[in-house]
Amino acid sequence: MTISTLPTVSQVLDQVLEIGAITGRYEALAEELLAWIHQTITIISNQRFANSLTGVQQQLQAFTAFCTLEKPVK
């Protein structure tokens, strides 16, 4: 390896700053994800499901309506 192929101090510092920014963004996204997971677990654990065929069919119909009418398209 010759001296001309070695990265300059400036290039190394730029990479360190970029890695720091990426790490910060990752940590922020991870915190948001954990908050969403905890919120979703709370919501799901509070749900009550019907114990009859008619009740389950009604819940399935409501879910189908949600998926076709309210859920945003990807």
18-73 pLDDT per residue, tens: 999 999 999 999 999 999 999 999 988 988 888 999 999 999 999 998 888 876 66
Q: What's the pLDDT score for residue 70?
A: 74
Q: Is the whole-model pTM more than 0.75?
A: no
DSSP one-letter code for 46: T
| 10-15 mean pLDDT | 93
**Domain residue extents for the chain:** 7-70
DSSP string spanning 19-66? HHHHHHHHHHHHHHHHHHHHHHHHHHHT----SSHHHHHHHHHHHHHI
Phi-psi region of 26 (alpha: psi -120 to 50; beta: other; left: phi over 0): alpha
pLDDT band at 1 (very low <50, low <70, confident <90, very high): low
